[in-house]
Structure 1
């Protein structure tokens, strides 16, 4: 899907530093100070237009949410949603997921969400998939002990690959659904893509993958 370039996006994001955090590396290890509370921190990688994160923020005001999105033209919509809702527990970073270690300290995050990420179907692009072992290693370092990755996609091939990737990494799988909207799972918040695909009758795949306790 081609992204619509909005040349004014970067400047507009910079005008709202309380929502789109500038120089996030300065807050490494101190995100709870920025939010002004001791609530858990959940991070969505590739947050897109922010519908999921804003919805989660409304349902769970006792959790701090941070969305990572590198495309400023896309993140602009997410920022506007938070601006309109005046949600204090939702922030964004206009950054690349691969740079997470620059922005968060070890075991600073409580949960990671990956929703409808690019499947990168060609074998030569495997390392770009956000459920590739290299990214899992990154999440594990930043998540607290027994931290979880919650994953949703419409792409069966990516889902099968991800289940295998999680298992090979030694993660424990929970709530594996091959048809989320026909399951008994409660509390689902849909993304923009999820709404679009489900209206077409497409299956939505979901699972929770938990890292095992690290040995001291």
Structure 2
């Protein structure tokens, strides 16, 4: 899918202090940027930002970083953040934004610097020749293993069953992760759905009657970081 270029995106992101301009310069120093020692969680492919902004509001003792590859997509989340900033309640202070490719994670975060990674309704890349581009492929799992500590988790949600089945198999075959939780119908699974925050896509797909799948992968204590 071709993304529509939004000319003003670069200027808006440059002017927003919550958008980190030199993320590689923060490697091993993210706690300094947040000015606390709270755990850091990231969402890769944050879309319009509803999921991560809600998490940040509900959990002030956790630092959140939203990652998008394209400025035109990240713009939507930043604009939503700015609207919150102008409201009486204000926007959460425990959130930052990055415009970067997820393949650069080890260049931006030190080993163990991230405790949890969220992947929500990621691009399925349905053609077999593009399987390595899927954010739950073994190539990406090996990258996540480099920045998560032992016991750190990856949480993945989708309504795309072929992508979910692929992701489950990739986790089961990974030397870095074990499958810690799985459901094929999240909203009917009382245990897995507890505390669930819906994304914009999740609201749309579930309203259309689509079952939402979710898995949790936990980094093995003995797993190599690659």
How would you bin the TM-score normalised by the shorter chain? over 0.9
Question: How far has the Cα of 1:215 moved from its partner?
Answer: 6.7
Summarize deviations over 1:21-72 as a string: whole Å, max 9, x none: 1011111110010001100000111111111110111111110000110111
Q: Is the 8 A contact 1:25 1:102 kept in 2?
A: yes
Cα distance in 1, alignment partners of residues 165 and 172 from structure 2: 11
With structure 2 as the length reference, what TM-score do the two structures score? 0.91
Aligned to 2:87: none
SS of alignment partner, residue 43 of structure 1: strand
SS of alignment partner, residue 116 of structure 2: strand
Question: How far has the Cα of 1:5 moved from its partner?
Answer: 2.5
Aligned to 1:188: 196
Q: Is the 8 A contact 2:24 2:109 kept in 1?
A: yes
Structure 2 unaligned residues grouped into runs of 5+: 85-90
SS of alignment partner, residue 75 of structure 2: helix
Aligned to 1:96: 101
Does the C-alpha gap of structure 1 residues 194 and 2 become closer, same or farther in structure 2, counting only changes over 3 Å?
Answer: farther
Q: Is the 8 A contact 2:149 2:219 kept in 1?
A: no
Q: Pairwise mapping of residues 39-54 of structure 1 onto structure 2 (< 5 A)?
A: 39-54=38-53
Question: How far has the Cα of 1:192 moved from its partner?
Answer: 1.1
Does residue 1:12 correspond to 2:17, yes or no? no
Cα distance in 2, alignment partners of residues 189 and 4 from structure 1: 28
Aligned to 2:75: 76
Aligned to 2:64: 65
Cα distance in 2, alignment partners of residues 215 and 188 from structure 1: 28
Summarize deviations over 1:3-31 as a string: whole Å, max 9, x none: 33211001111001x21110111111100
Q: Pairwise mapping of residues 165-184 of structure 1 onto structure 2 (< 5 A)?
A: 165-170=170-175, 171-184=177-190
SS of alignment partner, residue 72 of structure 2: helix
The root-mean-square deviation of aligned C-alpha atoms, in Å, is: 1.4
Say which is worse superposed, 2-11 or 73-82, in terms of deviation: 2-11
Moved over 4 A (4+): none
Aligned to 2:24: 25
SS of alignment partner, residue 151 of structure 1: strand
Q: Is the 8 A contact 1:133 1:169 kept in 2?
A: yes
1:127 aligned residue (125, 128, 132): 132
